[in-house]
Structure 1
Amino acid sequence: MGLVGQRAFAVEAEQTEPPLTLRVPAFTAYTLPDPDGAQISPRRGVTHWTDPHLSVNWYGLFRHTGQLSVRLELRLPEGAVSELKMTLQDQSRSVRVTGKGNEIPAAADFGVFAIRQTGYTRFMLESLNPPGRPFGDLDALLLEGPALQDAHFNLKPRRNAASVHLNYAVPADTEIAAFYGEVTAVEDPTATFYMACGWHRGYFGMQVNSPAERRIIFSVWDSGGEPTDRSKVSQENRVVLMDKGDGVYSGDFGNEGTGGHSHLKYMWKTGQKQRFVVTATPTDETFTIFSGYYFHPDSRRWMLISSWKAPREGGYLRRPHSFSENFWGSNGHFVRKALYGNQWILTADGRWIELTQASFSHDATGRSDRLDRFMGVQDGQFFLSHGGFVEGFTPFGQTFTRPPVGTPPGDIVLPRKNANSQAILD
């Protein structure tokens, strides 16, 4: 058995004893149907599981068939009895386990299951206890058997799906004065950020923040490299808000670099194309004003989200890209997918260039912890998909080409007060 860096589990084939075993921490589990229906933490595992309608679920990738012994390590008050049911690959086992004390693990032995199909398998744990009886606090799944050969589980506390990115191919030395892109959400669980227009100093896209709230986000990073706390950023390194649209909130952000943040609360629709454009207006050799504009589907007009004056710049947009992010880990078991299409850049000398080629990348979680991350071309657009424990993956760095649209956007009419940005586009 091999375990590399506590990041993910990949068991190498062995011809000798001892048998293959694996401890899958409870803190890697997910709850359904409510992703926040119990407390899950690296220190205590799964606790406060009291709803008999809530299941606790683990997911693992099996590359071989064979037998698999399944036990559950849990803590119960001394003498307390919990009845639990485990289901995987259409096989179910129920057991009763007696507690040894709140800090002494007991084991629920569900016996041997047959892994008959390769691919991702869901381990679904259900409570058969009546209301008021303790279910138990869960520490780990304990697995053993030949089916574990080359199997893969995420063993890290981070339960987010991997973040995935489109990196667009741009002619060398291009001065990019504007970047236009479109995004259509296909699957959009809560805690999803579909970012349409990113560049070296910021990002612009749309979020699902809750079932009742969605946002259009535009943010620009400070200079200076401070990773977390904007109060530590000197005034000469801070971006400064120059303007914002009606109904737009603006403020600070930190913990992922620091900078200026803005958002419009708007219930954008799944399946409806959303349109974005970012402009760059150098004011001198050291400052550039970056502005984000959103085509509002209700008014059918372009509106300003915000404009920020960025220090230590004086140039144009660099490294155009898009991404999709699962920014909260409790629902990393849900699929996220969006279409990204009709990308264009406008050069400083007024030429539109269509971006039809992009390469795939992902964050550190996608290296070995979560393999369910994809890019491709669908309906003439790029797509990004991640999460859901879907079998297969897209290799890091793979390049895709979408068919060209051929005609740049011709209806970008910006608010009158944004004359500098409009002059770029005219």
Structure 2
Amino acid sequence: MTDINISFGWNTYQSCQTKTCSYSYIQESGISYWRDSNIIISLFFYVTVAGVYDMSLISDEIQREAEVLVTIPTLSYKYYAKFNPENLNLSLGSIQIDNPGYVKVNFQGTKSMINRKTGNYPKLKSLVVSNVVNRNAIKFVQDSFSSHFGRRGPSVHLNYNLASQTKIKHFFNEVTVPKYWDVVGTYAMAIGFQYGYFGMQVNSESERRILFSVWSPQETDDPSSILPENQVKLVQKGNNTVINDFGNEGSGGQSYLVYPWVAGVSYQFRLIGYPNKNGYSTFSAYFKDPTKSEGYILIASWKRPKTQSYLTGLYSFLENFDPEKGNLSRKAYFNNQKAVNYNGKDVKVLSASFSYDETADKQQRYDYDGGVDAENGYYLKNCGFFDKTKVRKGEVFTKSK
């Protein structure tokens, strides 16, 4: 038997039970500055082997006596943990896990025993799960992995397989984020290619964007370091498109339109790419709202230097870019793909293969899914700690029509 130490800094999220809360700090060192009894701290881990497990809490700072309610909703588990400055390690008793899957453990400070003048609730460092048959019985985001990407959750991709990959000039895709799945931090990327990506985002509770970015051929995360001969050049932009540089994931030219897209509507995306004679290739992105009469509108057109290419490596993805929202699920449908080559001839889109990022590949998170819906086309789903699906990396999806 062995003990498993699950760090709060890599595996927890917080939610508010009222309209306003004083949020705690979630850092790699743990949960600190926690003083609001309306905040619930939720820790997640995945159990692969059913059995009886013992749990205990480790704190590295207890400023005062306090009582914390610990619950596991799916197990009807409830425990009142009473902290005092003399005891930094507190047993929580045992839990019975009958089936493999995610376990959510909630921590909430009680209103009794609160003395706001003498400090915060205990700092939460780790949850220890004991009586474990082997280390592979309990899965979670490890301390050795990036807390940022672990808390964001896995990104998932559809890689499109075409009847011919030669000189594809136009690619069309249609994206629908279902109602109630449009969570802040969502990026439903409609058309990715070797040199950039194009899709729609939920940036905040009040702002949404249609985003198109093209990477520079110079490999750097610092856009200010790009040499003039390696800079992506703007050819044209839409009337309300914002133009920026971007960095931290490669660098290049960024264009976006602030646009109030709505969950449940199927938006249409068109990307055009072709080589020029002067050593550049031009990539242009167009967006269509089917509820409007204006047809496709230009987001932006960029020239990429040292590039002679049509559209290659076509794919879509679904990601969460907000690590504070990795406990909330996302879903998007991708339908009605169409490819056209440089001669204006249609090229059939045969299928799509499924893949995911390092977070899933290294088994830090299991909350990912993909497949085909008979009515809505291909779909991707991620985050939210739903139970593990049977979809495999490299699995090929084919639509019936």
Normalising to structure 1: TM-score of the pair? 0.85
Residue in structure 2 matched with residue 39 of structure 1 by the alignment: 25
The answer on whether the counterparts of 1:245 and 1:303 sit within 8 Å (CA) in structure 2 is yes
Residues 208-357 of structure 1 mapped to structure 2, 5 A cutoff: 208-226=202-220, 228-284=221-277, 286-296=279-289, 297-357=291-351
1:91 matches 2:91: no
Residue 140 of structure 2 aligns to which amino acid in structure 1?
A: F
Residue 74 of structure 1 aligns to which amino acid in structure 2?
A: S
Q: Distance in 1 between matches of 2:169 and 2:98?
A: 56
Residue in structure 2 matched with residue 126 of structure 1 by the alignment: 108
Q: Distance in 2 between matches of 1:299 and 1:249?
A: 23
Residue in structure 2 matched with residue 135 of structure 1 by the alignment: 121
SS in 2 for 1:279: strand
Deviation of 1:113 (Å): 2.0
The answer on whether the counterparts of 1:214 and 1:266 sit within 8 Å (CA) in structure 2 is yes
Residue 386 of structure 1 aligns to which amino acid in structure 2?
A: N
1:267-296, Cα deviation, whole Å (9 max, x unpaired): 100111011001114221511111000013
The answer on whether the counterparts of 2:337 and 2:349 sit within 8 Å (CA) in structure 1 is yes
Residue 126 of structure 1 aligns to which amino acid in structure 2?
A: Q
Residue 388 of structure 1 aligns to which amino acid in structure 2?
A: G
Q: Distance in 1 between matches of 2:201 and 2:129?
A: 38
1:151-196, Cα deviation, whole Å (9 max, x unpaired): 2222242311111111001234411111100100021211110000
Q: Distance in 2 between matches of 1:20 and 1:90?
A: 25
Q: Which runs of 5+ in 2 are unaligned?
A: none
SS in 1 for 2:203: strand
Deviation of 1:36 (Å): 9.4
1:372 matches 2:367: yes
Inter-CA distance 129–73: structure 2 relative to 1 (3 Å threshold): farther
1:97-138, Cα deviation, whole Å (9 max, x unpaired): 1014xxxx7122211222234321111111114452621111
* Percent identity between the two aligned chains: 30
The answer on whether the counterparts of 1:129 and 1:135 sit within 8 Å (CA) in structure 2 is no
Residue in structure 1 matched with residue 52 of structure 2 by the alignment: 67
Of 393, 397, 419 in structure 1, the residue corresponding to residue 394 of structure 2 is 397
Deviation of 1:374 (Å): 1.1
- RMSD of aligned alpha carbons: 1.9
The answer on whether the counterparts of 2:162 and 2:348 sit within 8 Å (CA) in structure 1 is no
The count of corresponding residues between Structure 1 and Structure 2 is 379
Residue 278 of structure 1 aligns to which amino acid in structure 2?
A: L
> Mean Cα displacement is larger for which, 392-401 or 338-347?
392-401
Q: Which runs of 5+ in 1 are unaligned?
A: 1-18, 405-426
Residue in structure 2 matched with residue 383 of structure 1 by the alignment: 379
The answer on whether the counterparts of 2:154 and 2:368 sit within 8 Å (CA) in structure 1 is yes
Residue 385 of structure 2 aligns to which amino acid in structure 1?
A: F
1:328-386, Cα deviation, whole Å (9 max, x unpaired): 21111111110011111110011122324010111111111112111100134000011
